[in-house]
Amino acid sequence: MFLPEWTESVIAKLKSCSLPAFSSLSEEEQYAAPTFVEEDCGEPIEAAPDDTGVIEVRNPRKDLEFQAFLDGVQRTILWRRIPLPSGVLVPIHIAHIGAGLLLRDKNGRLQMDPTLTATRLLLLGPFEGLRRSGLELKELDNGEAIVWDTDERTFGFPAEMNEWILCDTTFRGTEHEREKQSAGALIGDTLFNEGLVRSRAQGRVATLRQRLEFAVLARFRGKEPEKWVLVDGPLFFIDKWRRRAARLIGAELGEQNEGLLEDKLLRNAVGLIKSHRLRPKNPAQIMKMGPTQRSLVVPLSHEVDLKGRRETPDEEGTYGGLHLTWYTRLRCCSRPPYGLLGLIRLDIHRASLPGVVRGDALNQECFQNYRPLIDAITWATWRERWPAFRRVDDYRSATEPYPIWQVERILKAMAFPRRFLAHLIR
């Protein structure tokens, strides 16, 4: 059933009290990610060989090859606007999110596994804020029939394609007791801040898309716990999610110990970040970094990439296990200056380093033992780049591995077009 029974009354109510938005572009098409806005959180965990602050990547003794590629897509449309007596027009959004995994067989061929593809539809708005402004929304009191964004089921693999989730963006985050957090709540005059309302919606879409990606990864890990996976984006699995995700993701992984859940999920996964919110301590050195080099490895204890729009965080927090990150170039032009062309940041969980149980056990002296693995991961990432530039200034293909582009193209073909979403429910 495309529209579950509970959505019919909710959508009918929202339509009866709102105006069409006539949005021609998705929210994602109107957004440009900022660069170097989040401060680096620590000193390098790796010793610098010289004053340049970068490392020449050595040819690895043992080849490492990615055998799966994970990506997710989101398309968010401003669907309707609800007028309030105060004169404000409150945006209501509909979004389509999807995640999938592209597999590489023993002959090197790439193929999608339909059982590792999932999609959800989201209906988003500051519903509690609307209620407190006098709008009657008794249709939202439909008990267990409605799947809210606070439900633990959002961490699991969907029961069906295009499963509907209702998202209340009045308060930050998706915790059950989020109503107690008044900071940043979309209540009263704050509803006049349309940029904040739309930012909160897009941040919530990104959060639920990230969970959907990890649901796909958990299902794959239940079958293939050792294979290396290249993930488009950061390994965004924050500490406060572990307990809530334990039942559903733990069942996929065959792991009931909450403390080991993150290790099993993120081991041998490499996140590839193409946008650069994280500001390195030495941006000038990073900009000058050549095509065969990488930066020093830096520890990362909190998320820096999933911030919504206009610097208004929705879901944020610290990582349960230490992450390690470094910069390199997937591809660049033949001579400097290189700038941001081809610049990427790689992100791994400490569980990917053999024998490392605690992040605080790592220091510059012992990390030398893991330098060959870091170089091997960097080499493996380079091997996934496009065979050639489309244009000298094509920043997209310079930072996007070819298999990631393939899975993204498939997922975007599955996502509902923006005009279809805008007129999805008449």
What number is the average pLDDT over the span 400-408?
A: 94
| Residues forming beta bridges with residue 231, ordered by sequence position | 70, 271
Residue 141 has a pLDDT of 83
**Which of 39-48, 73-82, 224-233, 315-324 comes out lowest in average pLDDT?**
39-48
Contact 166, 149 (CB under 8 A): yes
pLDDT in tens, 110-128: 999 999 999 999 999 999 9
What number is the average pLDDT over the span 318-347?
A: 86
Residue 132 has a pLDDT of 93
Give 376-379 contacts, CB < 8 A, sequence gap 24+. Answer: 376/60, 376/62, 376/63, 376/64, 377/64, 377/270, 377/346, 377/348, 378/57, 378/294, 378/326, 378/328, 378/346, 379/57, 379/59, 379/60, 379/63, 379/64
Higher pLDDT: 332 or 272? It is: 272
- Rounded to an integer, what distance in angstroms lies between the CA atom of residue 124 and that of residue 193? 16
Which ranges constitute the DSSP H helices of 254-342? 258-266, 283-288
Residue 34 has a pLDDT of 66
| Secondary structure of 73-108 as H, E, C letters | EEEEEEEEEEECCCCCEEEEEEEEEEEEEEEECCCC
Res 314 pLDDT > 80: no
Helices (H) and strands (E) in the chain, counts: 11, 14
Res 229 pLDDT > 80: yes
Q: Which domain holds residue 55?
A: 5-422
Residue 395 has a pLDDT of 66
Res 71 pLDDT > 90: yes
Higher pLDDT: 238 or 328? It is: 328
Residue 407 CB-half CA count within 13 A: 29
Higher pLDDT: 153 or 301? It is: 153
Mean pLDDT taken over the chain: 87
Q: Which residues contact 11 (CB under 8 A, 6 or more apart)?
A: 3, 123, 425
Res 309 pLDDT > 50: no
Contact 167, 148 (CB under 8 A): yes
What number is the average pLDDT over the span 255-263?
A: 85
Res 310 pLDDT > 70: no
pLDDT in tens, 146-167: 899 999 999 999 999 999 999 9
Residue 10 token pair: 């909710």
What number is the average pLDDT over the span 67-75?
A: 97
Q: Count CB neighbours of 170 within 10 A.
A: 22
| Residues forming beta bridges with residue 112, ordered by sequence position | 102
| Residues forming beta bridges with residue 119, ordered by sequence position | 98
Number of domains in the chain: 1
